[in-house]
Amino acid sequence: MTVKYNVVQRANPGDRTNPGKFYPSIVSTGRLTLRDIAKLIADNSTLSSTDVMASIEAFLNTVPAQLAAGNIVELGDFGTFWLRNSGEGEANADDVTAKNVTNLLPRFTPGKEFKKVLRNVEFKKA
């Protein structure tokens, strides 16, 4: 698989007077919808695209609900979803309440197979 990139100049955030350096920046070559993904999965399985759509919809409802229930969602070699929060600190442990949580973000840690696919990506200048 090949991923395209452009070259972009970025300023030094520590010293804006220095000339910026040039970096590779990934270029998207398209966008897939839920329906597109369902068709691709159906083409590689015995399920119809309608069955796949129903399964994906159930998955999309289940994962956030399980994260909201405090669970970590492990998907084998694909990876793991979990929640991370940021918050305001207090001087005393007894003063910390739920109101100290300021942000809640879903996180994803790729598993073995996911990482294996990404290791084999080749890059080509766009």
Please report, for the chain, the start and end positions of each structural domain, with discontinuous segments joined by +: 32-62
Instruction: Give the span between the Cα atoms of 90 and 73, in whole angstroms.
Output: 30
Average pLDDT of the chain?
94
The pLDDT value recorded for residue 14 is 80
Tokens standing for residue 82: 């979990």
pLDDT digits (tens, 9 = 90+) for 40-79: 999 999 999 999 999 999 999 999 999 999 999 999 999 9
What integer is the mean pLDDT of 97-126?
A: 95
- Torsion sign, CA atoms 104, 83, 55, 61: negative
Place of tokens 């990876």: 79
Query: pLDDT, tens digit, for every residue of 1-43?
Result: 899 999 999 888 788 788 888 999 999 999 999 999 999 999 9
Walk across the sheet containing 79-87 and list its strands: 73-74, 79-87, 101-110
Give the span between the Cα atoms of 14 and 21, in whole angstroms.
13
pTM of the entire predicted model: 0.76
